[in-house]
Structures are given as structure tokens and as C-alpha cells.
Amino acid sequence: MKKCVFHIGFLVILMLCSSCVSRGVREAQEVVAQADSLWHDGQMYGVDAGDSATLAQAYETLDKSTAFCRRIREIFPFVHRTSSLGTYSHACYHYGRLLREKDDPVAAMQAFINAIHSHTGDYHILGRVYSNMGSICHLAGEFPLSYDMYERCADMYLQNGDTLLYYYGLNNMAFELAEQNKEAETKHLLDTITNSCSDKNVLSLVSLTKAALYTNLNQFDSVLLITQSVSLSDYAPASTYALKAHALWNTGLTDSALMYANLVMELPDASKQDKYNMLFILINGDSTLDNEALLQLSGERSDIEFEILNPLHHKVTIAVELLKADMKKSSYRRYIYLIMVLVVLFLSILCYYTIRLKNRRKQGLQLLQEAQEERAKYRENRLQEMENLCNTLSQSASLQDEIQWKDFSRMCQIIDKQFNCLANKLKRKNVLNETEIRLCVLVLIGLSRKDISSTLPYSLNGIGKLKDHTAKSLGTTGKNLREFLLKMAIEG
């Protein structure tokens, strides 16, 4: 009774635990759904609405609940994707974005890496994830790696059928090439976009990428022409005026450079890096500033450098190292899985051929056994036929006429025809004379010693001696001579 109560209690506890786990997962999925909704409205969960701790908890819950599915998908990519993996990838993306907003690119990178390893089929979310990873790599100055991430991002958008975002991805790739001063490759990629895309915002970004390329190549007149064109369009981000101020500064147009530098400092979308660069122009180009203003601007520039840019660069460098380590690990893992697949394939082939060989042996033994049984049956039937024939001949009153006893050659032909070439077989042995062959024929037919004696003719005592001598010549005994002759006749 106590055991029964214990088991029932244990089952109840398990059911409660499973319900708690299920409830926790459902709550986490609801949080992710809310984050998706805010995201589509241009807001961020944990910043514009919702609690960052709630999103973190949802991320951790889904990370634990999908661990087994992710491991199975990692080993066996052909296994059907579950909806929980898609929800988990969204949780990774939203949490990674939140961590970037909270100035923690290292943890954000890990969240994005986990999204990649979720093996989700949501190519749009994967494109967003790769885009963020590319942005972090760019901030660390890892332009080739950033290009790789943006290339994967563009591929995800293309697989998702989103051509507009695909062109944004191509432009990001071109920007990373421009940072590496790869003029021909950058222009080729930008031409690909301009020949296929008509979206004004994308084309404006293409122009800014080209301006960044010319900036790196010190072709500042081209930069001024491009930035002037972009500034007249509906889409002109702060980087447009930052590039223009930099070009004006390098062409000696200090007053114009100062004007645009001041403009960038007032724009809300200006990055810290752009402001840092513009402060250099303001400090070194504005002769009207007094010492106090210069100290203030220098202090502001130092604050940006040491409190924001340098710490950020340190963090994003660690984040990139985390990405590199994961890529290396993933590469090793792919080799391991490939080896595992090859081993399994080899063992499968080996098992297949082993089973096939075993079946062939079994079939061969079965066929051999059937052949032996058939042969034994044939021998038995043939033996019975010969015994019947011998019995008929031995009881015949005209035996000598039937086998043409007096004509040895004719007799041999008849015996060969009726007893499977027995006479010819005896001749080929070259150990018997005509009388001994005749004796063998009579012994085979089954005549008694007396009948043999009268047929040959030979004395009874002589028949015994002749039979023993003949048998010895054939390698048997007088007692077994008839059995020996029957066997010789049956065995072809």
C-alpha cells in the first residue's frame, strides 16, 4: 500500500514538473511573440516596451527546451525542423539586439551565434542575425569577416525571396570591400545593384558607399560630387555630411568643412565615430574659438574616444574572437560529422555486402543440397531401373539371345545401351580380358554361380577364382563386385 502511494505521488510530481516546464515554455513563446510584434512596429522589446529581464528569461528557457532538438538537427540536418527552433531563433535575435543596445556586443554575438545554430528555416531572421554579426565585425575593423557575414546575410534574404533586403545586403558587402580599398570589386558590386534595383533609398546608400570608397582612395572631388547629389535626395543620413565635411577639409575648403562638421554634430542619427571625426575638424579648423571652447571640444572628443570608442572597440574585438572560435569549431564539427557519415556509410555498405554474401552462401548451400538430393534421387531411380532390368534379364529363358552372348562386340553394344556404357568403361580400364568382362556382365545381371558356370562355361570352383581375380583387378572384392559394377554403371 505504501509503495502504491509512493508511486502515485511520484507520478503526480512528474506531471506537475512537466506542466511547469510546458507553462514556462509557453510564457517564453508569448514573450517572443510580443517582441516580434514590437519589432514589426519599429520598436524594441526591453527598450520601448517590455522588460529586458523577461526577454532574457524567455531566451534562457527556450535555449534549454530546444537544446536536444538543436543537437539532433546539428548531427542529422535532414531531420524535420520544429516550430520551437524558429521561436528560439527569434528569441536569440531579439535578445542579441537588446544586448547590443545595452552595450554588450560579446553577449550579443553569442546570442546571434546561437540563432545560427538553431538550424531554423526562417531565412529572414537569419538574414537579420548575419547583418548584426557583420556590423559588429565592421566595428572591430575586421572587414573581410564582415564581408563574409554580409554575404551570408544577402544569401538568406535571397532565399527568402526578399530582393529589396538582398540589395541592402549587397551594398553592405560593397561597403566592406570599399573599406579594404578594393576599387574594382566594389564598383562591380555597386553596378550590379544599380542595374537591377530602382529603390531610391538603396541607390542613395550605393552612392554613399561609392563616396566612402573614393574617400579611402583620396579622390575627394568625386566624394563632393556624390555627397552633393545624395544631400539633395529624400534620404541623406548624417554620414553623407560627415563624408562631405571630410572631403572639404582635405581639399582646403575649411569654412565649408566647418559648416558641415557643425551640422553633423547636431544631427540625431550621427554616429559617435562621425562626431569624433567632426570634432577634429572643429578643433583644428575654427580659428575663432577661444581656449575655453577649444578645451571643451577637446574634452568632448577625448570622452568619446576613451569612454565610448575605445571600450566599444575592445568589446567588439572580443565578440569577433568569439565568432572566429565558433567558426573554427563549426569547421571541425563539420569534418567530424563528415567522418561519422563516411564511417556509417562504410559500415552500412559492409553490412549490406556481408548480408548479401551470407545470403548467397546460404542460397549456394541450399542449391548444393538440392542438387545433391536430386542427384541421390536420380541415382536411386536409376539404380531401381537397373535392378528391374537385371531382374528381368536374370529370369529370362532366352538371356543369351537377348544380350547376343555369342557375339562379344554386339553384346558389349547392348550392355552399353542398357547399362550406361558399362562394357566400354570396363574396357577402358585395360585390366580385364574378354572372359572377365563377360563375367562382370553376368554378375551385374545377378545370375547365380551355377548359372554363370553354365553360361561361360566354367567350373564352379573356377567361377569363384575368376570372380575374385576380376574383382581384385578392378580394386574391389568378389563379395562387393556386383555393387561396384552397379555404381560404375550409374556414375556416368
Q: Are 429 and 474 in contact (CB under 8 A)?
A: yes
Q: Is the peptide bond before 457 cis (omega within 30 degrees of 0)?
A: yes
In order of 411, 425, 426, 432, 472, the CA distances from 429 in angstroms are 18, 7, 5, 7, 13
**Pairwise CA distance, residues 443 & 390, whole Å:** 10
Number of Cβ within 10 Å of residue 67's Cβ equals: 11
Cα 13 to Cα 5, 9, 283, 325, distances in angstroms: 12, 6, 70, 42
State the cell numbers at 321.
574572437
User: CA-to-CA distance for 157 and 343, rounded, in angstroms?
Assistant: 36
**C-alpha cell of 473?**
583387378
Return the pLDDT at 491: 78
CA distances 18 to 11, 12, 14, 28, 157, Å, are 10, 10, 6, 15, 38
Residue given cell 566599444 in the structure block: 312
pLDDT at residue 69, as a whole number: 56
Distance CA 202, CA 190 (A): 10
Kind and range of the H or E run holding 464:
helix 460-474
Q: Are 224 and 244 in contact (CB under 8 A)?
A: yes
Q: Which residues contact residue 259 at a Cβ distance below 8 angstroms, ignoring those fewer than 6 apart?
A: none
Write the DSSP string, 90-154. HHHHHHHHHHHHTT-HHHHHHHHHHHHTTT-S-HHHHHHHHHHHHHHHHHTT-HHHHHHHHHHHH
Please tell me what DSSP assigns to residue 304. I
Q: Tell me how far apart the alpha carbons of residues 334 and 340 are, in angstroms, rounded to a whole number.
A: 10
Identify the bridge partners of residue 45 per DSSP, sorted by sequence position.
49
DSSP string, 223-245: HHHHHHHHHTSS---HHHHHHHH
CA distance 374 to 435: 37
Integer Cα distance of 312 and 294 in angstroms: 26
User: What angle separates helix 434-445 from helix 481-490, to the nearest 10 degrees?
Assistant: 90
DSSP 46: T
Written as tens digits, the pLDDT of the chain (492 aa) is 444 544 454 444 334 333 444 777 888 888 888 888 888 888 898 888 888 888 889 888 887 877 655 555 455 554 444 556 778 889 899 999 999 999 999 999 999 999 998 888 899 999 999 999 999 999 999 999 999 999 999 999 999 999 999 999 999 999 999 999 999 999 999 999 999 999 999 999 999 999 999 999 999 999 999 999 988 887 889 999 999 999 999 999 999 999 999 999 999 989 999 999 999 999 999 888 888 989 999 999 999 999 999 999 999 999 999 999 988 886 555 566 667 777 888 888 888 888 888 888 888 888 888 888 888 888 888 888 888 989 988 888 898 888 999 899 999 999 989 988 889 988 998 999 999 998 899 898 989 888 888 888 888 888 888 889 999 999 999 899 889 988 888 875
217 grid coordinates:
582612395
Question: Residue 281 class from Cβ within 10 Å (0-12 exposed, 13-18 middle, 19+ buried)?
Answer: buried
DSSP 308: I
All three cell numbers of 255, joined, read: 569654412
CA–CA separation, 36 and 42 (whole Å):
10
C-alpha cell at 121: 528555416
